[in-house]
Amino acid sequence: MTWEEENLVNAAPRWLGDRQIGALGFGCWRLVSNDTQAATRLISSALDLGMTLIDNADVYGLDWGGTAFGESERLLGSVLAQNPTLRDKMVLASKGSILPGVPYVANAAYLNAACDASLQRLQSTHIDLYQIHRPDMFTHPEETAAALDGLVAAGKISMVGVSNYTPAQIHALRGYLQAPLVSLQSQFSVSTLDILRNSTLDLCMETGMTPLAWSPLAGGQIVSGDQQPAALSAALDALAARENVDRAAIALGFILAHPSACVPLIGSQSIARLEAATAALNVCLTRRDIYQLIEASEGVALP
């Protein structure tokens, strides 16, 4: 195989700290209802499909049809309480620091209380990965770090990560943390390419942090074509026809192709769509394909 034919899509499992996870993860942003049986079927299917990272947050439940802060965690907790064997099959992740009306709090008192509340809602003794959801710019990183290290020492969380942090904010937090930062959750899709050039993914590769991509299909707009460049939709469709998959599989394959070993977090509430998403693991995208998608997305030729 020549370099021109090399498939950049990396479908191998990823490492999150010392835990292995699937190349695709399941995001609980839209997991909102009172139907525990339906949620159980969805979570079980995601796990069976290899989406072993189950990502939640305490604020999930205030949109996508939800009605309350913590609703998604409570529903997932009901699933785990009724099906305790599922807990051992997943790497359970949650996040804290967004408090509507404030809106960000990452001081020690709040994080300790928020983590305890998440554990209660999730009906779990510990959270495998706990991430600061958004940086609180008016809490010193030393205090945030001390709170996270304290939660690790207490056995309430196993691993620490951040979400929506800039590289500089990561450096500041890492300077005070004893626990390693194992993850960075950021917005990344073929139509949202900022982290390719703002040092975010470069920092992940430098430090060994696993990048987690939220909204990898731009909330479904990449699939529907809504508010997307026509050239991007056409480029995705051409590759999808070549690979005999749908548009979503190519868009997810684009993320899987980055050498940082990024994990797209898929939030669909349809088991059929979760199953279809796994086709991304088998597509072939060459370097030429990837750069053509970037040019189609940005609407300008690369220099």
Strands (DSSP E) along the chain, which ranges?
14-16, 19-21, 25-27, 53-55, 91-96, 127-132, 157-163, 181-187, 210-214, 263-266
Q: Residue for token digits 């300790």?
A: 112
60 is annotated as an active-site residue: yes
DSSP labels, 187-218: E-BTTB-GGGTSSHHHHHHHHTPEEEEESTTG
Residues with Cβ within 8 Å of residue 145, at least 6 apart in sequence: 173, 176, 177, 178
- Asked whether the beta carbons of 214 and 187 are under 8 A apart, the reply is yes
**Separation of alpha carbons 198 and 170, rounded Å:** 13
**Separation of alpha carbons 60 and 68, rounded Å:** 8
Query: Which of these is catalytic: 60, 110, 130, 165?
Result: 60
Q: Give counts: helices (H), strands (E), the chain.
A: 11, 10
**Separation of alpha carbons 119 and 107, rounded Å:** 18
Cis before 100 (ω within 30): no
Q: So which residues are the catalytic ones? A: 60
